[in-house]
Chains A and B, each alone.
Chain A
Amino acid sequence: MGDEYPTLFRSEQMSLVQLIVPTEVAHDTIAELGELGNVQFKDLNPNVNPFQRSFVGEIRRIDEMARRVRFFASQIEKEKEPIPIRPLYDSAPLVTVGPRAAQTIDELDVKLAEHEARLTQMNESYQLLSERLRELVEARHVLRETAVFFEQAATRETEVRNSLDDSSAPLLQHDDREQQYSSGELQFDLEFVAGTIDRARLSTFERVLWRVLRGNLYMNYIDIQEPFVDPATGAETRKNVFIIFAHGDILLGKIRKVAESMGATIYPIDVNADKRADSMREVTGRLEDLQIVLYNTGASRRTELTTIGESLASWQDVVAKEKLIYETLNLLNYDVRRKTLLAEGWCPTRDIPQIQLALRHATEESGTNVPPILHELRTNRTPPTFHRTSKFTEGFQTIMDAYGIATYQEVNPGLFAVITFPFLFAVMFGDIGHGFIIFFAALSMILFERKLGKADLGEIFGTFFFGRYIILLMGVFSIYTGFLYNDIFSKSLHLFHSGWDFPEQHGNETVVGASNGHTYPFGIDPAWHGAENGLLFTNSYKMKMSIVLGVIHMTFAVCLQVPNHIRFKRYSDIYTNFIPQMIFLQSIFGYLVICIIYKWTVDWSKASTQPPSLLNMLIGMVLSPGQVEPETQLYPGQSTVQIILLLLAGVCVPWLLITKPYLQYQEMKRVQGQGYIGLGADDAPRLTDDTTLEGEEEGNGRAIAEANDEEHEQHDFSEVVVHQVIHTIEFCLGCVSHTASYLRLWALSLAHAQLSEVLWNMTLANVLGMPGLVGIVALVIVGVLWLVLTISILCVMEGLSAFLHALRLHWVEANSKHYEAGGYQFVPLSFARLNEKQ
């Protein structure tokens, strides 16, 4: 069984394997298995605290390394000019297996620590320097702005003086001038405080000062245009220069204190203009020096980061892998006495040779000659479900996994969804044009698959990209159903000779088409397009088609029970469940389908009666059995057939309801009659098939994690009864409601067709006939509008809605007929998955 070629029909056969790994090859073994990616390890010490496990020390060390790598990554990210990070596939692989593994890790650890120390130091000095630079820049601003202020004040002073001086006597002019000069000097003896403060705090600062000094101050402030950037965080702050005049040492002291506590920086400014100019020169000079130093520091820091960027990707990879390896090692059982690790896990049976190969490879790599031992365990636990998917089937399988993970070895509806899903979608989305649009969209995604696969696509587009193969098939099937409906952007194609002739039309009169004996070979005759009863015709056609498709789909789903019953050796279920369900479904709804097809074959224009309504027929069949009005009769002998069918369906209900519980009861009686009592699953003897293990001490040859965490299902009789009652009710009611539910195929396809027709009529139809230049311009504008609306509304929105309904038809209508979905996913240890997560 194990070498059966893997199919999607059933989940893969799994084996519980036990690995006995010598400690020295443990790391390499796990690394190798991680690369291979098909073993799911079980936690063998669930009762041990995470930090009491064997490899906590290593994990902690790896964590520390991971922190450093994250630190580098964030530093590189913060850099304004992007620093190239060499991609993983381009960088030299860092070998962490083999005899030198430990050394490599040690070296890496040291290297990371060194880089971190260097980078931190550089950051610090850079920060220090930029801090000093910032102070100098601020000082320069303060000097410049206060200079402006003093100059203004000086001129104003003279103006004031002059205006006052006008009336004074010319004799005193000389004195006055002298006095004025000195008083000007005196004026600026007014004490002041100058500095810079964060703009956001300015108003608070001013308010507090005003209250502290009770208004005894004169404050002036000017914005500094350029923002200051914090080198560490990259945050921008905007600052203001302020200058405050006040009297008295106490007040000035208070101002200084408030300013300091509010985070302002105060700069000593001299009153004397010359001294100010001096300090300005000094500041500028120092600023230039500092800028050079800062530039050099920045450059060397950048070089350091570039060096880091070279190998950052491989470090990230190694660190992530190592962490995963040690976390996995922690799941294993550590036998100190024998220096071995005991691992248990699930793997696909057909991969065991591969795993053994990997184990041998790991042994060779690590240079020891003690190979890990692998052997299969026999177990009565349910293995995880594993469907081997390709990139094509992955999307479809995901749709079904979203409903529920298949029970181990159950028939997998994901396989059939590959065809049924796009087909049911297309029934609702039938339009050649729209089909082509989504087909090409999917095709382009597939052609650029490699490129797109690497890029981060965002959540929304990523989802579409993931389902590209689904979309591709949906497109293909939509084109097919589009041909069936003969619909291309709500127009129809005249591919073949129409089966109807129309006499020439005069004015607005209605003309009646006459059949010319042709049959349109494929799809709907284009003559129906635009016919007055066209909608009536397509409605009736699509409605009946939906029912037919629905009954076929459900019948198929019911049939899928059979392989399950056979595989799980529940043969009695075939006649307690499958057969009555089938009869019930077919005798009512199968009959309806046959009637639909029969009605299509009858030429009602030549028949003696009017075409009967099939809906009324079905209602009448159940409500008044045996009575068929002659004028609504479909075929002779109808009432007898219907009574028989109804009786058949009626019999099926108690059949479904009673037989299974009864058989179960019989079984129980028999077992008890033979004097057996049910044993707990744990007491059942478990023999390993490996006889060499017999000599081993107890515990080692058995699955360790197997003990009592899975309760065996109790075969309680009342439970079986209740379950069967629910099942019966669900099925019988479900048949009716599910059949009706398939009418959504009709409704959605009708809505789609009507919507695209409305769009055409409201946009392009109006401008197609327009003559001259205006016509061309209008055609271009409206054409673009039409195209945009077609893609956004008809393809994307309508497509999503049709997708949703197709999804529902699979999940509810089909899956409920056979799918148990009681399994759990196989999650192997895999480095490939790790990359996906990142």
Chain B
Amino acid sequence: MEALLFNVSGGFLEGIVRGYKAGLLTQNQYNNLTQCETIEDFRTQLSATDYGNFLANEPLPISTSTISDKATQLLVDQFNYLRSNSVEPLNKFLEYMTYAYMIDNVILIITGTLHGRNTNELLQRCHPLGIFDTMPALCVATNVEELYHTVLVETPLAPYFRDSVTAADLDDLNIEIIRNTLYKAYLEDFDAFCHSIGGPTADIMHRILAFEADRRALNITINSFGTQLSKEQRAKLFPTIGRLFPEGNNALARADDIDQVRQACEAIAEYRAFFESGPGARANGNGSGVGSESTANLLGDLGVSDELGAAAELEDRFFVHEVHLNKLAFLQQFQYAVFYSYIKLKEQEIRSVTWIAECIAQNARDRIHDFIPTF
């Protein structure tokens, strides 16, 4: 059925996004990039790819953050192009995608304000896809109640907030709880929305979102070891759409150490692989040729505590698996998951490119291969 009518409104944009996808860096191009001696080489090399002359007008020397910013700007431009050309329900779908960035931005600002950072500096660090009008006013709030009533009430995040947040004061733990509650509500809502679209979109998006949910559940569990977070509270933060739900979630809720987490994941073959091998043999686990050292803290933006080396390494594998899932989304036509996947893949690519640039800049050539390739 979707083959019959999809192209009426979505055909053009699907074509566009598949064109964008064809512009993602290939393994060969990554190889060329890693051979660069200086950032200037790097720029020359990138100008031969789809990035084109995006750095041509930057005065030397170029900092890695400029590269990252400019690349993100490209992504944002592409996303905005897609969004402004889309119609319902794709429009709504793309809007849902921005909610995740909104949540991140909200948390970033609240945390920043709590630690007394400058608001303007914080605003600049926000992801451009998740910016909304009243965002700057977030820094006024001193407790959760106020937060909700002054700012969030008119954002799309309001429903997630309303039902779930009861904590009174803003401190680091509560902010983490807020983030995860919001995410849980968001993921469940997004999943429900995709389900309402139906067809292959629902299938593929469910697969991706389920993994996202499980990833969050695992992260919450591992990070909550040794904190004040009670097990009941922890259980409440787990999204209920993952493949671990419900047995795995229950097991995770009771888990006290990493071994119990591993046991909780036993039931699902792909997840078992995350824990299976030691640091030496991990590369073959996911078949994507990742190097041997952990890079999660430089690559990831999810604020995983680096106390647990295993967790950081786990994070890398999560990224690899996510890339894998997103690549699978391109195998089917007439569905919206390609848009989600493209943005995620492009983000990963920007992370990888930044990582390589960072390694070149800091002359850490031995770790240059630790990026996660997309295609």
Contacts and interface: CB of A to CB of B under 8 A. Distances in A.
A70 B57 contact: yes
Nearest to A210: B150
B134 interface: yes
Contacts of B123: 261
A392 interface: no
A768 interface: no
Interface string A799-812: 00000000000000
B22 interface: no
Interface string A251-269: 0001001101111000000
B40 A212 contact: no
Contacts of A59: 44
Contact of A64 (B60, B137, B149, B154): B60
Contacts of A258: 136-137, 140
A67 B53 CA distance: 11
A67 B136 contact: no
A208 B150 contact: yes
B34 to A, nearest CB: 12
B17 to A, nearest CB: 28
Contact of B57 (A51, A71, A208): A71
Interface in B24-62: 32, 35-36, 40-41, 44-45, 48, 56-60
By size class, the interface of chain A is 20 to 34
A420 B23 CA distance: 45
Given A49-B35, A207-B154, A261 B136 contact: yes
Given A204-B133, A258-B137, A211 B57 contact: no
Interface string B78-118: 00000000000000000000000000000000000000000
B139 interface: yes
Interface in A203-227: 204, 207-208, 211-212
A64 B60 CA distance: 8
Contacts of A262: 136-137
Contact of A50 (B48, B58, B60, B154): B48
A320 interface: no
Nearest to A203: B133
B268 interface: no
Contacts of A263: 136
B151 interface: yes
A573 interface: no
A316 B300 CA distance: 44
A204 B135 CA distance: 10
Given A208-B150, A258-B137, A60 B56 contact: no
A232 to B, nearest CB: 14
B137 A67 contact: no
Interface in A57-95: 59-60, 63-64, 67, 70-71
A275 interface: no
Interface in B110-155: 119, 123, 133-134, 136-140, 146, 149-151, 153-154
A118 interface: no
A686 interface: no
Interface residues on B, range: 20 to 34
Secondary structure type dominating chain B contacts: helix
A56 B44 contact: yes
B44 A211 contact: no
B139 A257 contact: yes
A204 B151 CA distance: 10
A208 B138 CA distance: 10
A238 interface: no
Contacts of B58: 67
B294 to A, nearest CB: 30
A203 to B, nearest CB: 9
A50 to B, nearest CB: 6
Contacts of B48: 50
Contacts of B150: 208, 211-212
B150 to A, nearest CB: 5
A414 B349 CA distance: 49
Given A60-B44, A63-B56, A67-B57, A211 B140 contact: no
B56 A67 contact: yes
A71 B59 CA distance: 10
Contacts of B151: 208, 211
A204 B123 CA distance: 17
Contacts of B146: 212
Contacts of B137: 208, 212, 258, 261-262
B140 to A, nearest CB: 5
A247 interface: no
A51 B149 CA distance: 56
A56 B48 CA distance: 14
Interface in B147-190: 149-151, 153-154
Interface in B53-75: 56-60
A51 B36 contact: yes
A208 B134 contact: yes
A54 B23 CA distance: 28
A60 B32 contact: no
A39 B301 CA distance: 54
A100 interface: no
A201 interface: yes
B139 A67 contact: no
B44 A51 contact: yes
Contact of B140 (A49, A201, A204, A212): A212
Contacts of B153: 211
Contacts of A67: 56-59
Contacts of B59: 67
Nearest to A74: B57
A403 to B, nearest CB: 28
Interface string A177-208: 00000000000000000000000010010011
A201 B60 contact: no
A70 to B, nearest CB: 7
A60 B37 CA distance: 14
Contact of B40 (A60, A71, A261): A60
A112 to B, nearest CB: 12
Interface in A497-533: none
Contact of B133 (A63, A70, A201, A212): A201
B149 A211 contact: yes
A290 B48 CA distance: 47
Contacts of B57: 67, 70-71
Contacts of A70: 57
A299 B341 CA distance: 53
Contact of B119 (A56, A64, A261): A261
Nearest to B135: A261
Contacts of B32: 49
Nearest to B133: A204
B57 to A, nearest CB: 6
Contacts of B139: 257, 261
Nearest to B37: A51
A50 B41 CA distance: 9
Which of B133, B149, B151 has the most CB atoms of chain A within a 10 A radius of its CB? B133
A257 B140 contact: yes
Most buried by B among A51, A63, A67: A51
Nearest to B142: A254
A198 to B, nearest CB: 11
A297 B45 CA distance: 40
A56 B47 CA distance: 14
Given A211-B149, A212-B137, 5 more contacts: A51-B44, A67-B59, A211-B151, A211-B153, A261-B138
Q: For the complex of A and B, list the 3 residue pairs with the smallest distance between their C-beta atoms, beginning with the closest.
A: A261-B136, A208-B137, A204-B133
Interface of A: 49-51, 56, 59-60, 63-64, 67, 70-71, 201, 204, 207-208, 211-212, 254, 257-258, 260-263
17 contacts: A49-B32, A50-B45, A51-B41, A56-B41, A60-B40, A64-B60, A67-B59, A71-B57, A201-B133, A204-B133, A207-B134, A208-B134, A208-B150, A212-B146, A258-B140, A261-B136, A261-B139
Interface of B: 32, 35-36, 40-41, 44-45, 48, 56-60, 119, 123, 133-134, 136-140, 146, 149-151, 153-154
